[in-house]
Structure 1
Amino acid sequence: MLKKVKHHSLKKHTEKNLTERDISQRNTSLKYLGFLVDEAFFDDFEMLYEFGRELGLQRKDVKLFTFVETRRKIPSLRQNQITNKEFTWRGEIHNQNAQEFLDFPFDVLIGFYKEKHRFLSAMVAQSKAKFKVGFNDADERLFDLLITVDLQQPEVFKSEVKKYLKIFKKID
């Protein structure tokens, strides 16, 4: 029962954030890159930092935030991680690091997850990123660009994203 209420609240928060989105800065060039990643699906984070370097960014200008369904019992020093338990039944996020990540005005935010994902979609909707990129069957209302690629093939992912960032004049 509580799970249904939480999912309904997430949906309402997502709808509200979609209507309040500021798209006036959508065409700025790439200086800061953010990734929202589903750890159940992908965990090669070094590849994402390397991709940022290939785009001409320094490591400090590439930020990564991940979602895991439930935290493992093993202690972790990772601070840029959120679980479904950190979303209240009202759909609000109770994770200071996540809030800071979402409030940062990334020039490009890449939602690195497949299909529709309630928690990550709510985070994408809440993000202050100027331009948002998603993949394969994601909610098209959340993203400025949807690309259909197999995210398990990093070279194809990289070349497609680069191609579109050049078309949109985000990179040279």
Structure 2
Amino acid sequence: MGFLKFKEQSIRKKFEKQLQTALQNHTTSAKQVQKVGILAFDELSSVIDITRLLEEGLENAKHFHLFSYRPYDKNAPKSYKHFSEKDINRRGEFTDPSIQQFLETPFDILIGFYNHSNLYLEMATLQSKAMFKIGFAGVNDQLFDLVISENPLKTESFISEIVKYLTLLKKI
């Protein structure tokens, strides 16, 4: 077994254990939305300006922070807005200071803007200190407080669903 497979298996075990603990201890906040965090695949966030669209949809929110996952490429420049599998150790701990800071930020909502399972994005979502987490159906529904069944390319529809439910929950 190669080192990368071993690392991935170790992270997966840690993820499952942390997920069970998080499900038992999870609380949400009734606080109005001011700070929004977004975790996304780079391939989606580089095509869709999700931050701008959310700023338009969530007019009362003041702070938006986007962090994207992209597979490791030794030729890609280092970015403080991206992370890769190299930024997490085999114990499931993020080692890059910029992703650590993002995960420690107590966002009012975190939006998981990814529509298929990815261990590294799921681990980041799980470790985020966000009060309320929103994501796409079919990824890992246990991670999110609100799951929306929509195609990520229909971003306006996704955001209108977010606005609708946050209004019902009196968060906006």
TM-score higher than 0.5: yes
The equivalent of 1:24 in structure 2 is 27
Give, as a single letter, the amino acid of the residue that structure 2 aligns with 1:84. Answer: E
Comparing 2-11 with 126-135, greater Cα deviation is found at 2-11
CA contact (8 A) 2:53 2:156 kept: no
The equivalent of 2:147 in structure 1 is 146
Alignment RMSD (CA, Å): 2.0
CA contact (8 A) 2:57 2:163 kept: no
1:34 aligns with 2:37: yes
1:39, 1:72 → 2: CA distance?
16
Identity %: 32
CA contact (8 A) 2:72 2:86 kept: yes
Q: Give SS of 1:62's match.
A: strand
The equivalent of 2:8 in structure 1 is 7
Give, as a single letter, the amino acid of the residue that structure 1 aligns with 2:99. Answer: A
2:130, 2:156 → 1: CA distance?
24
CA contact (8 A) 1:105 1:128 kept: yes
The equivalent of 1:62 in structure 2 is 64
1:73 aligns with 2:75: yes
- Extract unaligned runs of 5+ from structure 1: none
Counting helix residues as a fraction of each chain, which structure ranks higher? 2
Give, as a single letter, the amino acid of the residue that structure 2 aligns with 1:52. Answer: E
- Extract unaligned runs of 5+ from structure 2: none
Structure 1 residue 142: deviation in Å?
Answer: 0.8
Alignment of 1:65-144 (within 5 A): 65-71=67-73, 73-75=75-77, 78-144=79-145
